[in-house]
Amino acid sequence: MQLLRPAITAAIAVLAMAVVLSSCGGAQAHNITKILAKHPEFSTFNHYLTLTHLAAEINRRTTITVCAVDNAAMDDILAKHPTIYTIKNILSIHVLLDYFGAKKLHQITNGTALAATMFQATGSAPGSTGFVNITDLHGGKVGFAPEDNDGTFGAKFVKSVEELPYNISVIQISQVLPSAAASAPTPAPAEINITGIMSAHGCKVFADTLLADADAVGTFQDNLAGGLTVFCPLDDVFKAFLPKFKNLTKAGKSSLLEYHGVPLYQSVAMLKSNNGVMNTLATDGANKYDFTVQNDGEVVTLKTKVVTARITGTLLDEQPVAIYTVDKVLMPRELFKGLAEAPAPAPEEAADAPKPSKGKKKGKAAPSPDEVADSPADSPDGDVADQTADGNGAVRIDGGRFGFLALVVSAWLGFSVL
């Protein structure tokens, strides 16, 4: 046993390390909105990161640095009354596509570095104007200047706000980076006729129904400038659904139509990388009206508590608007109480198949359309799909893994006394 003890100890150590690393692999990604929310002096900067949809892009990326400016510096920008698109360009140049923590900033190789920004990555920056020069200055100061600046380092490093090496670094700089290219007036995109696009590409029934509802179509139009994603059911699909639709109340009809829109731009790549619960245009406080985005390879599905729809085509994908076709009408649980998606015919339950609610009796008939229209929504409490992850970056350790780790440690202690 003496001879075996070193080998056993080494094997146990390797197993324990594998378990710990596997458990830590569940760490959640950073959330710039929550990071900045802890610092009220950056509330305006934080607000416009959300309004311009830059926050979602920052959260999607890794190895990134956000150069935040305080509320007074943001007031200087807003005093010039720029469009929201110009504000987005200005803030984009404050997002560096590399990691610069406080230590790295004061130890830059050769004293200077050139960092690409999100403004450069958009393709909107002429030439190299989307790069930022970072230079160590006399007296321990660090200066920042856009490439299209005259070389004056007006913005200085103030402090580190939060660092998650080497994922995201949030730092404060003393003033807005003065970029003529980023600050240039940026016009709003041309008016997009979303119903016309849908009508011409196989979603005419849905588009006509939307046009007939002034409240719903107004909600879609109001979100065009800030970002909008539409999921339109194909004609045959929505035509077959019309009997159920006609039995909804007026408010229910508007909510169902709005349930097919998301108030932000989502490209296919973004949908694939942002799997999880997503709010819709119909979301209103306690009326959640959300669904879950999932993907399996190239297939993206939208799972409500009632149906699972698949994205079948792209009609438009030009920021700030995306329009996709889907093979089913998205039916929210809030309107279709008691209806559940039919189980898959396969003998084994699919990995993403919805789980039946506890206590639901088999063979219970679905309610009639009249009952559907008037029935209130089920309470969302206790529903597994409604439980969303806390976004403050905590590491979640699976109980089974922790138990296994305890077992490994116990085994090691047992061998130690042999």
Instruction: Please determine whether the domains at 32-173 and 194-335 fall in the same fold group of CATH.
Output: yes
Question: In one letter, which amino acid is 197?
Answer: I
Q: Which two tokens stand for residue 33?
A: 């909105």
Q: How confident is the model at residue 124 (pLDDT cuts 50, 70, 90)?
A: confident
Span 199-207, average pLDDT: 96
CB-based burial label for 325 (10 Å; 0-12, 13-18, 19+)? buried
Q: CA of 258: how far to CAs of 34, 281, 412, in Å?
A: 28, 5, 58
Give the 3-state secondary structure of 310-345.
EEEEEEEEECCEEEEEECCCCCCCCCCCCCCCCCCC
* 100 in Cβ contact with 115 (< 8 Å): yes
256 torsion bin: left (phi>0), alpha (psi -120 to 50), beta (else): alpha
Mean pLDDT of the 26-41 span? 84
CA quadruple 153, 158, 161, 164: dihedral sign: positive
Quickly state the pLDDT bin for 251 (edges 50, 70, 90): very high
Phi/psi-derived region of residue 337, left when phi > 0, alpha when psi is between -120 and 50, beta in every other case = beta
130 has a pLDDT exceeding 80: yes
Distance CA 316, CA 194 (A): 9
Structure confidence by residue, pLDDT tens digits, 147-163: 877 778 989 999 999 99
Tens digit of each residue's pLDDT (9 = 90 or more) over 268-315: 888 887 789 999 999 987 778 999 999 888 899 999 999 999 999 999
- Sign of the CA dihedral running 172, 175, 180, 185: positive
Q: 30-39, 196-205, 229-238, 405-414 — which is least confidently predicted?
A: 405-414
Residue with the larger pLDDT of the pair 240 and 396: 240
Could you tell me which residue, 156 or 12, shows the higher pLDDT?
156
Q: Which residue has the tokens 């792209």?
A: 314
Q: What is the DSSP string of 254-297?
A: HHHHHTTEESS---HHHHHHS-EEE--TT-BTTB---EEEEEET
Tokens 């230079």 map to which residue?
A: 135
- CATH superfamily of the domain spanning 194-335: FAS1 domain (2.30.180.10)
DSSP-assigned letters across all residues of 221-259: HHTTTT-EEEEEE-HHHHHHHHHHHHTS-HHHHHHHHHT
Q: Which two tokens stand for residue 297?
A: 């390879």
Residue 148's pLDDT is 72
Nearest residue to 290 (alpha-carbon basis) of 281, 226, 299: 281
Question: Residue 352: its pLDDT value, please?
Answer: 41
139: phi then psi, degrees, rounded to nearest 5: 80, 15
Q: How far apart are CA 126 and CA 74, in angstroms?
A: 24
Query: Domain residue spans in the chain?
Result: 32-173, 194-335
Count of residues in the chain: 418
Amino acid at site 18: A
pLDDT of residue 273: 78
Among 72-86, 240-254, 272-286, the range scoring the smallest mean pLDDT is 272-286
Does the global pTM surpass 0.85? no
3-state helix, strand, coil in the chain (%, to 5): 40, 20, 45
Q: What digits encode the pLDDT tens for the residues 362-401? A: 333 334 433 333 333 333 333 333 333 333 333 333 444 4
> Considering the domain 32-173 in this protein, what is its CATH number?
2.30.180.10
Structure tokens given for 113: 């570095």
- Of 28-32, 96-100, 179-183, least confident by mean pLDDT is 28-32
Burial class (CB in 10 A: 0-12, 13-18, 19+), 168: buried
Which residues are registered as beta bridge partners of 65? 96, 169
Task: Give the sign of the dihedral formed by CA 126, CA 130, CA 136, CA 137.
Answer: positive
Residue owning tokens 């396969």:
346
Confidence of residue 50 (pLDDT cuts 50, 70, 90): confident
Could you give the CA distance from residue 136 to residue 112 in angstroms, rounded to a whole number? 6
Residue partners of 53: CB distance under 8 A and separation at least 6: 88, 226, 227, 264, 265, 320
Residue 222: per-residue pLDDT: 87
**CB 12, CB 413: distance < 8 Å:** no
Query: What's the distance, CA 209 to chain centroid?
Result: 29
Q: CB of 331 within 8 A of CB of 338?
A: no
